[in-house]
A and B are shown apart, each in its own frame.
Chain A
Protein backbone atom coordinates (compact mmCIF):
# COMPACT_ATOMS: atom_id res chain seq x y z
CA UNK A 1 0.00 0.00 0.00
CA UNK A 2 2.74 2.44 0.96
CA UNK A 3 4.59 1.47 -2.22
CA UNK A 4 1.59 2.44 -4.32
CA UNK A 5 1.40 5.83 -2.58
CA UNK A 6 5.10 6.45 -3.18
CA UNK A 7 4.77 5.50 -6.87
CA UNK A 8 1.72 7.75 -7.27
CA UNK A 9 3.38 10.76 -5.60
CA UNK A 10 6.64 10.46 -7.51
CA UNK A 11 4.81 10.01 -10.83
CA UNK A 12 2.73 13.16 -10.34
CA UNK A 13 5.79 15.11 -9.21
CA UNK A 14 7.87 13.97 -12.17
CA UNK A 15 5.09 14.89 -14.59
CA UNK A 16 4.95 18.39 -13.06
CA UNK A 17 8.71 18.80 -13.51
CA UNK A 18 8.51 17.51 -17.11
CA UNK A 19 5.72 20.01 -17.83
CA UNK A 20 7.89 22.79 -16.40
CA UNK A 21 10.77 21.69 -18.64
CA UNK A 22 8.52 21.66 -21.72
CA UNK A 23 7.15 25.05 -20.70
CA UNK A 24 10.56 26.67 -20.39
CA UNK A 25 11.37 25.57 -23.95
CA UNK A 26 8.01 26.40 -25.54
CA UNK A 27 6.95 29.66 -23.86
CA UNK A 28 7.54 32.77 -26.00
CA UNK A 29 8.27 35.28 -23.25
CA UNK A 30 10.50 35.55 -20.20
CA UNK A 31 7.63 36.40 -17.85
CA UNK A 32 5.59 33.41 -18.99
CA UNK A 33 8.68 31.23 -18.51
CA UNK A 34 9.13 32.49 -14.95
CA UNK A 35 5.45 31.85 -14.22
CA UNK A 36 5.45 28.30 -15.63
CA UNK A 37 8.68 27.06 -14.11
CA UNK A 38 8.26 28.38 -10.57
CA UNK A 39 4.82 26.93 -9.94
CA UNK A 40 5.26 23.58 -11.62
CA UNK A 41 8.73 22.90 -10.24
CA UNK A 42 7.72 23.74 -6.67
CA UNK A 43 4.80 21.31 -6.81
CA UNK A 44 6.89 18.56 -8.41
CA UNK A 45 9.77 18.80 -5.96
CA UNK A 46 7.36 18.90 -3.02
CA UNK A 47 5.56 15.74 -4.11
CA UNK A 48 8.81 13.83 -4.79
CA UNK A 49 10.21 14.81 -1.39
CA UNK A 50 6.98 13.77 0.37
CA UNK A 51 7.32 10.41 -1.37
CA UNK A 52 10.90 10.07 -0.11
CA UNK A 53 9.79 10.93 3.43
CA UNK A 54 7.08 8.24 3.28
CA UNK A 55 9.63 5.70 2.03
CA UNK A 56 12.10 6.25 4.89
CA UNK A 57 9.42 6.78 7.57
CA UNK A 58 11.68 8.21 10.30
CA UNK A 59 11.21 11.36 12.32
CA UNK A 60 14.58 12.92 11.51
CA UNK A 61 14.22 12.46 7.76
CA UNK A 62 10.62 13.67 7.76
CA UNK A 63 11.59 16.86 9.57
CA UNK A 64 14.46 17.38 7.12
CA UNK A 65 12.08 16.95 4.18
CA UNK A 66 9.58 19.36 5.72
CA UNK A 67 12.42 21.89 6.14
CA UNK A 68 13.40 21.56 2.45
CA UNK A 69 9.78 21.93 1.28
CA UNK A 70 9.19 24.92 3.54
CA UNK A 71 12.38 26.55 2.29
CA UNK A 72 11.41 25.96 -1.35
CA UNK A 73 7.90 27.35 -0.80
CA UNK A 74 9.43 30.40 0.86
CA UNK A 75 12.19 31.15 -1.64
CA UNK A 76 10.73 30.26 -5.06
CA UNK A 77 8.25 33.19 -5.20
CA UNK A 78 10.88 35.61 -3.86
CA UNK A 79 13.44 34.58 -6.47
CA UNK A 80 10.86 34.67 -9.29
CA UNK A 81 9.68 38.11 -8.24
CA UNK A 82 13.21 39.51 -8.07
CA UNK A 83 14.04 38.07 -11.50
CA UNK A 84 10.84 39.40 -13.06
CA UNK A 85 11.46 42.81 -11.54
CA UNK A 86 15.05 42.92 -12.80
CA UNK A 87 14.04 41.81 -16.30
CA UNK A 88 11.24 44.40 -16.47
CA UNK A 89 13.61 47.14 -15.34
CA UNK A 90 16.25 46.15 -17.87
CA UNK A 91 13.69 46.70 -20.60
CA UNK A 92 12.81 43.20 -21.78
CA UNK A 93 9.68 43.43 -23.91
CA UNK A 94 6.57 41.39 -23.25
CA UNK A 95 5.16 38.96 -25.80
CA UNK A 96 3.28 40.71 -28.60
CA UNK A 97 0.00 38.96 -27.72
CA UNK A 98 0.16 39.81 -24.02
CA UNK A 99 -2.98 41.63 -22.99
CA UNK A 100 -2.26 43.65 -19.91
CA UNK A 101 0.75 45.51 -18.54
CA UNK A 102 0.16 46.91 -15.07
CA UNK A 103 3.36 48.93 -14.87
CA UNK A 104 2.91 50.75 -18.19
CA UNK A 105 3.24 54.50 -17.65
CA UNK A 106 3.81 54.11 -13.93
CA UNK A 107 7.50 53.37 -14.14
CA UNK A 108 10.23 55.83 -15.07
CA UNK A 109 13.14 54.00 -16.72
CA UNK A 110 15.52 56.93 -16.22
CA UNK A 111 15.17 57.48 -12.49
CA UNK A 112 13.87 53.98 -11.58
CA UNK A 113 10.89 55.47 -9.77
CA UNK A 114 7.61 53.68 -9.38
CA UNK A 115 4.49 55.76 -8.91
CA UNK A 116 0.87 54.85 -8.39
CA UNK A 117 -0.34 57.67 -10.66
CA UNK A 118 -0.03 58.01 -14.39
CA UNK A 119 3.14 59.58 -15.66
CA UNK A 120 1.71 62.71 -17.28
CA UNK A 121 -0.22 63.57 -14.13
CA UNK A 122 2.99 63.24 -12.23
CA UNK A 123 4.77 65.70 -14.47
CA UNK A 124 2.04 68.36 -14.16
CA UNK A 125 2.76 68.98 -10.49
Chain B
Protein backbone atom coordinates (compact mmCIF):
# COMPACT_ATOMS: atom_id res chain seq x y z
CA UNK B 1 0.00 0.00 0.00
CA UNK B 2 1.58 3.22 -1.13
CA UNK B 3 1.37 6.57 0.57
CA UNK B 4 -1.10 8.06 -1.90
CA UNK B 5 -3.44 5.04 -1.55
CA UNK B 6 -3.33 5.32 2.23
CA UNK B 7 -4.03 9.06 2.08
CA UNK B 8 -6.88 8.59 -0.38
CA UNK B 9 -8.65 5.67 1.29
CA UNK B 10 -8.01 6.33 5.00
CA UNK B 11 -7.01 9.90 5.74
CA UNK B 12 -9.36 11.82 3.45
CA UNK B 13 -12.55 9.95 4.56
CA UNK B 14 -11.70 10.54 8.23
CA UNK B 15 -11.18 14.24 7.52
CA UNK B 16 -14.50 14.33 5.67
CA UNK B 17 -16.17 12.73 8.70
CA UNK B 18 -14.61 15.45 10.86
CA UNK B 19 -16.01 18.11 8.50
CA UNK B 20 -19.48 16.56 8.82
CA UNK B 21 -19.27 16.52 12.63
CA UNK B 22 -18.17 20.17 12.70
CA UNK B 23 -20.98 21.05 10.32
CA UNK B 24 -23.52 19.62 12.80
CA UNK B 25 -22.34 22.18 15.34
CA UNK B 26 -22.30 24.87 12.66
CA UNK B 27 -25.98 24.24 11.87
CA UNK B 28 -27.37 23.72 15.37
CA UNK B 29 -25.06 26.02 17.36
CA UNK B 30 -27.29 27.78 19.88
CA UNK B 31 -25.59 31.15 19.60
CA UNK B 32 -23.55 33.07 17.06
CA UNK B 33 -20.25 32.49 18.89
CA UNK B 34 -20.64 28.71 18.54
CA UNK B 35 -21.05 29.14 14.81
CA UNK B 36 -17.96 31.33 14.64
CA UNK B 37 -15.89 28.62 16.38
CA UNK B 38 -17.31 26.00 14.02
CA UNK B 39 -16.47 28.16 11.00
CA UNK B 40 -12.91 28.64 12.26
CA UNK B 41 -12.48 24.89 12.74
CA UNK B 42 -14.02 24.21 9.31
CA UNK B 43 -11.43 26.43 7.65
CA UNK B 44 -8.60 24.88 9.69
CA UNK B 45 -9.71 21.38 8.69
CA UNK B 46 -9.88 22.65 5.11
CA UNK B 47 -6.18 23.53 5.35
CA UNK B 48 -5.48 19.94 6.38
CA UNK B 49 -7.53 18.55 3.49
CA UNK B 50 -5.68 20.82 1.05
CA UNK B 51 -2.32 19.60 2.40
CA UNK B 52 -3.34 15.93 2.11
CA UNK B 53 -4.71 16.47 -1.38
CA UNK B 54 -1.54 18.24 -2.51
CA UNK B 55 0.44 15.17 -1.42
CA UNK B 56 -2.05 12.85 -3.14
CA UNK B 57 -2.03 14.70 -6.47
CA UNK B 58 1.70 15.60 -6.25
CA UNK B 59 1.10 19.33 -6.77
CA UNK B 60 2.82 21.50 -4.15
CA UNK B 61 1.17 24.65 -5.54
CA UNK B 62 -1.94 23.87 -3.48
CA UNK B 63 -0.04 24.74 -0.30
CA UNK B 64 -0.20 28.43 -1.30
CA UNK B 65 -3.98 28.22 -1.10
CA UNK B 66 -3.66 26.64 2.35
CA UNK B 67 -1.64 29.65 3.49
CA UNK B 68 -4.23 32.11 2.17
CA UNK B 69 -6.99 30.06 3.86
CA UNK B 70 -5.17 30.35 7.21
CA UNK B 71 -5.02 34.13 6.76
CA UNK B 72 -8.73 34.36 5.94
CA UNK B 73 -9.69 32.14 8.90
CA UNK B 74 -7.81 34.36 11.35
CA UNK B 75 -9.25 37.53 9.81
CA UNK B 76 -12.80 36.15 9.97
CA UNK B 77 -12.51 35.10 13.62
CA UNK B 78 -11.08 38.45 14.70
CA UNK B 79 -13.68 40.44 12.77
CA UNK B 80 -16.57 38.34 14.12
CA UNK B 81 -15.42 38.65 17.73
CA UNK B 82 -14.88 42.41 17.33
CA UNK B 83 -18.38 42.95 16.02
CA UNK B 84 -19.92 40.59 18.60
CA UNK B 85 -18.45 42.75 21.34
CA UNK B 86 -19.41 45.97 19.59
CA UNK B 87 -23.01 44.90 18.98
CA UNK B 88 -23.45 44.17 22.68
CA UNK B 89 -22.11 47.60 23.62
CA UNK B 90 -24.57 49.39 21.37
CA UNK B 91 -27.66 47.66 22.76
Taking Cβ atoms with an 8 Å cutoff, the residues of A that contact B are: 3, 6-7, 10-11, 13-15, 17-18, 20-22, 24-25, 30, 33-34, 37, 41-42, 44-45, 48-49, 51-52, 55-56, 58, 61, 64-65, 67-68, 71-72, 75-76, 78-79, 82-83, 85-87, 89-92, 112
Q: A18-B17, A58-B60, A71-B67 are known contacts. Are A86 and B38 too (CB-CB below 8 A)?
A: no
In the complex, which residues of chain B have a beta carbon less than 8 angstroms from the beta carbon of A45? 44, 47-48, 51
Q: Decide: B48 and A24 in contact? CB cutoff 8 A.
A: no
In the complex, which residues of chain B have a beta carbon less than 8 angstroms from the beta carbon of A67? 67
Q: Decide: A61 and B15 in contact? CB cutoff 8 A.
A: no
Q: Decide: A25 and B48 in contact? CB cutoff 8 A.
A: no
What's the minimum C-beta distance from A91 to chain B, rounded to whole angstroms? 8
Q: Which of B3, B11, B19, B48 counts the most A-chain CB atoms under 10 A from its CB?
A: B48
Q: Could you mark each residue 50-91 of chain B with 1 if its beta carbon is under 8 Å from any beta carbon of chain A, else 0? A: 011011000010011011001101100110111011001100
A-B contact pairs, 5 of them (CB 8 A): A18-B15, A24-B37, A37-B41, A45-B51, A86-B84
In the assembly, what is the distance between CA of A25 and CA of B24, in Å? 7
Q: Decide: B66 and A17 in contact? CB cutoff 8 A.
A: no
What's the minimum C-beta distance from B41 to chain A, rounded to whole angstroms? 5
What range describes how many residues of B lie at the interface?
A: 35 or more
Q: A24-B21, A72-B70 are known contacts. Are A55 and B77 too (CB-CB below 8 A)?
A: no
In the complex, which residues of chain A have a beta carbon less than 8 angstroms from the beta carbon of B31? 30, 87, 92
Q: Decide: A14 and B11 in contact? CB cutoff 8 A.
A: yes
Q: Decide: A75 and B11 in contact? CB cutoff 8 A.
A: no
Q: Decide: B34 and A33 in contact? CB cutoff 8 A.
A: yes
In the complex, which residues of chain A have a beta carbon less than 8 angstroms from the beta carbon of B11? 10-11, 14
